[in-house]
Amino acid sequence: MTTASERVSEPLTQHASQCVSQSVFDGSRLRVVLLVDVHDGAQQRFLEAYEGLCNQVASVPGHVSDQLCQSIENPSQWLITSEWESAPPFLTWVNSEEHVRMVEPLHSCVRDTRSLRFGVVRETGGPAADTAPGERRLQASPRIGDGLIRHALTFTVKPGSEDTVAKILADYAPPEPRVDDTTRLCRTSLFMHGNRVVRAVEVRGDLLAALRHVARQPEVRAVEEAINPYLEQDRDLDDPESARVFFTRAALPAVHHVTAGQESTDAVRHALYYPAREGRGMRLAELLARYDEEAADDPRGPVLRSTIFQRDDVVVRLVDVRGGLDADPGLVLGLTDRGRAAELTALLDGGALGADGSAPGDGDPARLLTASRMDLVTDRRAPDA
């Protein structure tokens, strides 16, 4: 008999849907590329710091290999590439406090970095080319996206300050959406659940350029300064290292996106918060991804788009729903039977989810929907986005 955990761990490519444009759960190998700009004169110090990390990284579950390369044209430019068995173990590691501490010695050497992550689709040469296609752990087929990059930030504020923070975040003037000739900020959606804030953005073009553009806007900087006294994690935006650590910990990457391929004039954006039991965040995100993927081809389904964001034990699902969120809670949540409800609630931290500290452990979709629903603060789309 197949258990719930075994079903969740199967690669989603076994149930591939053309509606899925992004997923880290397809079982394919992952190639990570890190472009590094090292301070002039710090090359040897950078190399020594990297060598000090090698043994630590090699022991991380899911890590296969890595290479460190230096540009033959500009000695300040370096390239780190690594290969992983699949995306989930890499994301679990890179989003951990262990990783934050591990890479700290590198930051005094580095002027700028840029991280890129790729699923392996095809390869030629080498031992892997002689193995059967089903054993190569390659992405089965290319994904067809909509040209948007989705990313989110999450952080908590001091209990009792929620109303004040919500007002500050709702009242700011939106930044200029145009970043440059190729990059545009298309949509910003901001929600709260208790004292947790989630800000999701949709960008066309270069995500890093868009985030830096937004951070430079005076109106955005004023809002960030205004909420500083209420943050549970202290930060100093005038201190680059303090700001870097805060936003590193706040990053909430998108791990799955599905679009049903239908449009509706009454679609409304909502966010649902799924705090996971300790160490179960990735598994919970994968389970939600499976629900979304299986429902994507149902023309009668209420969910038009769904994006799952996950970091550690924080999972957030951003959904565009037609017909109202409460019309059919079971379909919105993907809980079409009691077995699914049991799978989901077994991974949820009900105490963190329930306002009264009680877990919605009975799996009732309406009760779970009420407990997980986030309050909308603002949802702004750029003109012609």
327: pLDDT strictly greater than 60: yes
Question: Residues 277-306: what's their mean pLDDT?
Answer: 89
357: pLDDT strictly greater than 50: no
Lowest mean pLDDT among 125-129, 180-184, 249-253: 125-129
User: Contact, 277 vs 313, CB < 8 A?
Assistant: yes
DSSP secondary structure letters along 340-383 = HHHHHHHHB-HHHHSTTS---TT--HHHHHHHHBPEEEEEEE-T
Which pLDDT belongs to residue 144? 84
In angstroms, how far is CA 146 from the centroid of its own chain? Answer: 17
Amino acid at site 372: S
Which pLDDT belongs to residue 11? 54
Q: Tell me the pLDDT tens digit for each residue of 269-290.
A: 999 999 999 999 999 999 999 9
255: pLDDT strictly greater than 50: yes
Percentage above 90 pLDDT, the chain: 55
User: Contact, 341 vs 363, CB < 8 A?
Assistant: yes
pLDDT bin (cut points 50, 70, 90) of residue 116 is very high
What is the CB neighbour count within 10 angstroms for residue 242?
Answer: 14
Which pLDDT belongs to residue 326? 84
Q: Which domains does the chain have, with CATH numbers?
A: 30-121 (3.30.70.100), 149-253 (3.30.70.1090), 254-374 (3.30.70)
In total, the chain counts a number of residues equal to 385
Q: Where are the beta strands (DSSP E) in the chain?
A: 20-23, 30-38, 63-70, 77-84, 110-119, 149-156, 184-193, 196-204, 251-259, 268-275, 303-311, 314-321, 375-381
pLDDT bin (cut points 50, 70, 90) of residue 135 is low
Strand-strand pairing, 196-204 and 184-193: antiparallel
Distance CA 220, CA 214 (A): 7
Question: Residues 110-115: what's their mean pLDDT?
Answer: 92
DSSP secondary structure letters along 37-60 = EEPTT-HHHHHHHHHHHHHHHHTS
Question: Residues 333-355: what's their mean pLDDT?
Answer: 85
User: Contact, 181 vs 207, CB < 8 A?
Assistant: no
Q: Tell me the pLDDT tens digit for each residue of 151-175.
A: 999 999 999 999 999 999 998 888 8
Which pLDDT belongs to residue 87? 96
Backbone angles phi, psi at 327, to 5 degrees: -60, -45
16: pLDDT strictly greater than 70: no
Structure tokens at 364: 């009732």
pLDDT bin (cut points 50, 70, 90) of residue 64 is very high
Q: Tell me the pLDDT tens digit for each residue of 176-218.
A: 899 999 999 999 999 999 999 999 999 999 998 999 899 888 8
Which pLDDT belongs to residue 126? 60
Lowest mean pLDDT among 1-5, 97-101, 125-129, 301-305: 1-5
Query: pTM here?
Result: 0.89
